[in-house]
Copies of this chain bind each other. A is one copy, B any other.
Amino acid sequence: MSEPSFRRVALIGIGLIGSSLARVMRRETIAEEIVISTRSQATLDRAEELGLGDRYYRDAREAVEGADLVIVCVPVGACEAVAEQIAPGLAPGAIVTDAGSVKGAVIKAMKPYIPDNVHFIAGHPIAGTEYSGPDAGFASLFENRWCVLTPELGTDEKALAKLTAFWEACGSSVEIMDAEHHDLVLAVVSHLPHIIAYNIVGTADDLETVTKSEVIKYSASGFRDFTRLAASDPTMWRDVCLTNKEAILEMLARFSEDLSALQRAIRWGDGDRLFDLFTRTRVIRRQLIEAGQESAAPNFGRQNDRGEPGE
């Protein structure tokens, strides 16, 4: 991108997503000016220390004044309060978007506050790590990842094109989807896996017959894979569970149904059934690797001290 496409971009929230956006916007000169706002003074100070923006505000309304793009990067449950707060400061013609993992509830929460002369387009960059906060961000977080936008009927085409170009400049590919379908897709590919991971780590933590130190010691045999998702930001995931409830409960019901069948196959020693499932699932990983969505390196490419696999 040769010329900044936005004059002033306001980031509301400067955690993993916000701080990664700040970094990639700087690297790719996407914005002339980056304005950062977060409620916590300590986090705001840290963002300034890291040089993530050009101006810093605790008050989100002040931060959005004169911005032509506002990106709300806060947990889903905080989106309504932010929308209410920024509404009076929004410039006519500005684009407001977000980065939340749930779209239906966010649109419902934010939309009523957004003035008619402002373009609101909800979005979700499908990217992240298990770390949070302004230090956790990095410029390549969005590279080769998908960003889903869920514009409502009647959304201004030019605004949508501009927001699409923004995410492409950040390295992502953009997909347009309706909010309800997004929430269903994410319930299975993201919300269910996180909930299951949180649950299994909790189960292991509660055992009295196997000590916690044994769980940690022998975790390389499978368990540790789950601990990564279960180390994700608790506030973000509480909010996801509370706001995408219907889709999540539907996926949980299917998962439990399948698990009961699997449990029954184990109890009755139905080896063929087990073998069939275990063979079928193997194919999916291969397809994922072929689609460029996963590393083919064993153990995710985890390195030991000598830079060899197996750690």
A267: shortest Cβ distance to chain B, in Å?
A: 6
Q: Which of A187-202 contact B (CB under 8 A)?
A: 188-202
Interface: A302 (CB within 8 A): yes
* A294 cross-chain contacts in B, Cβ below 8 A: 219-220, 224, 227, 302
* A226 cross-chain contacts in B, Cβ below 8 A: 193, 196, 225
Separation of A295 and B224 alpha carbons in the complex (Å):
10
Interface: A271 (CB within 8 A): yes
**For the complex formed by this chain, how many copies does it contain in all?**
2
* A224 cross-chain contacts in B, Cβ below 8 A: 288, 293-294
* A302 cross-chain contacts in B, Cβ below 8 A: 294-295, 297, 300-301
Interface: A159 (CB within 8 A): no
Segment at the interface with B among A65-73, A91-99, A149-157, A204-212: A204-212
Contact A144/B304 with A210-B184, A223-B193 known, Cβ cut-off 8 Å: yes
A262: shortest Cβ distance to chain B, in Å?
A: 5
* A186 cross-chain contacts in B, Cβ below 8 A: 218, 221
Q: Is the interface of A mostly helix, strand, loop or mixed?
A: helix
Q: Which of A264-311 contact B (CB under 8 A)?
A: 265-267, 269, 271, 274-275, 277-282, 284-288, 291, 293-295, 297-306, 308-311
Contact of A298 among B130, B220, B249 (CB under 8 A): B130
Segment at the interface with B among A30-38, A82-90, A234-242: A234-242
* A252 cross-chain contacts in B, Cβ below 8 A: 259, 263, 266
Most buried by B among A126, A138, A311: A311
Separation of A304 and B127 alpha carbons in the complex (Å):
13
| CB–CB A204/B217 < 8 A | no
23 A-B interface contacts by CB (under 8 A): A126-B218, A126-B221, A128-B221, A130-B285, A143-B310, A146-B218, A175-B217, A188-B204, A189-B210, A190-B222, A191-B222, A195-B262, A197-B281, A198-B281, A199-B258, A199-B259, A216-B291, A227-B281, A227-B288, A232-B282, A234-B278, A242-B274, A256-B263
* 11 further contact pairs, Cβ within 8 A, besides A127-B310, A234-B275: A130-B299, A146-B217, A185-B218, A186-B218, A195-B266, A201-B281, A224-B288, A227-B284, A227-B288, A231-B286, A301-B301
